[in-house]
Amino acid sequence: MTSTTKSRLSVATMTRIAILAAAASILFLIEIPIVAFYKLDLSNIPVLLGAFSMGPIPGVIILALKSAIGLLHSSSAGVGELADFVMGAALIIPASVIYHRNKSRKNAIVGMAIGTICMVIVGVLMNKWVMLPFYMGAFHMDMDGIIKAAGVAGVDSEWKLLLLVTGPFNLLKGVVLSIVTALIYKPLSPILHGKMR
């Protein structure tokens, strides 16, 4: 392979990364309220598409660019973007690593399922140690205040909030992201692999 070909491939890859990061950043702005203060966004779909088509490292780069762009309009002093990056990585990395070991539909599904489980676990931990403490400090509330603000029947403790609301929400998010990605990856594959002429 000549240096010119490598350069073209590098430029093509960087172009796809930039386009997917831009798409992810736009989707990051669109949030659908689900439960309590949790909102669903589809911004990790372009990240998953990039990770499946180009590999885990480009996927993480797309995720990092999305989070960095999100800092420009952050309402959480960057804490929300940090949490989104960490939870996104928990989904993206296992899914793409498993898929790239043997590129098949089955491996893609298995990878996204394992990635979703990882995201649920990391999501609970990030909320426990990062997000909830941040919001308690930012709004001068104790945990009882956070639970009241969540307004979910039967949730009267931190662990109930984490296990009955945070966990299921991230499970739903992972399932939605996985289904949409599975449906659109094949039709978009030529574009994602730079094979359109």
pLDDT in tens, 85-134: 999 999 999 999 999 999 999 999 999 999 999 999 999 999 999 999 99
DSSP letters along the chain, please?
A: --HHHHHHHHHHHHHHHHHHHHHHHHHHT--EEEETTEEE--THHHHHHHHHHH-HHHHHHHHHHHHHHHGGG-SSTTHHHHHHHHHHHHHHHHHHHHHHHS-SHHHHHHHHHHHHHHHHHHHHHHIIIIIHHHHHHHTT--HHHHHHHHT-TT--SHHHHIIIIIHHHHHHHHHHHHHHHHHHHHHHHHHHTT---
pLDDT on residue 5:
44
- Give yes or no for residue 32 having a pLDDT over 90: yes
- Give yes or no for residue 155 having a pLDDT over 80: yes
Give the tokens for residue 95. 């899914």
Give the tokens for residue 176. 């939605």
What confidence tier does 77 reach under pLDDT thresholds 50, 70, 90?
Answer: confident
- Give yes or no for residue 47 having a pLDDT over 80: yes
| 35 strand-pairing partners | 38
* Architecture in CATH for domain 3-192: Orthogonal Bundle (1.10)
Q: What is the pTM of this model?
A: 0.91
pLDDT on residue 11:
87
Mean pLDDT calculated for residue range 69-75: 90
- Give yes or no for residue 59 having a pLDDT over 60: yes
State the amino acid at position 169 in one-letter form. F
Lookup result for tokens 């978009």: 188
